[in-house]
Amino acid sequence: SSELTQDPAVSVALGQTVRITCQGDTLRTYYAGWYQQKPGRAPLLVIYGQNNRPSGIPDRFSGSSSRNTASLTITGAQAEDEADYYCNSRGSSGNQVVFGGGTKLTVL
């Protein structure tokens, strides 16, 4: 089982706000990264660190963290945001990397 836990599926109405969460004890110490993956494509980094977006990622994507939970928020979800989202972080050993099981986001 993964050290990071995500809800398997989440849905959001077009234009509304959705929060995708990631829980794990290591998140008390390390920040999470968030990745978007569309079918047949490699993952794309959307959020890293405290709340940083790589160049080209829309500002409707934001990140936050509290205690053992990291969150990815999409404010004003668009149809093109429909994808699988994965969090990752350091594992309990500190050197290893772990991924959450992923959340399938449906935009209605």
- What residue ranges bind another protein (CB under 8 A)? 2, 30-33, 35, 37, 42-45, 48-49, 54, 84, 86, 88-90, 95-102
Helix, strand, coil distribution of the chain in percent, nearest 5:
5, 45, 45
> Closest separation between CB of residue 31 and another protein, Å?
7
Of 71 and 88, the one with the shorter C-beta distance to another protein is: 88
> Closest separation between CB of residue 98 and another protein, Å?
6
> Closest separation between CB of residue 69 and another protein, Å?
16
> Closest separation between CB of residue 102 and another protein, Å?
4
Secondary structure letter of residue 107 according to DSSP: E
Of 13 and 97, the one with the shorter C-beta distance to another protein is: 97
Of 15 and 54, the one with the shorter C-beta distance to another protein is: 54
The set of residues, in sequence order, having a beta carbon less than 8 Å from that of 61 and lying 6+ positions away, is 34, 46, 47, 53, 72, 73, 74
Burial of 91 (0-12, 13-18, 19+ CB in 10 A): middle
- The token pair that represents 23 in the structure block: 């829980």
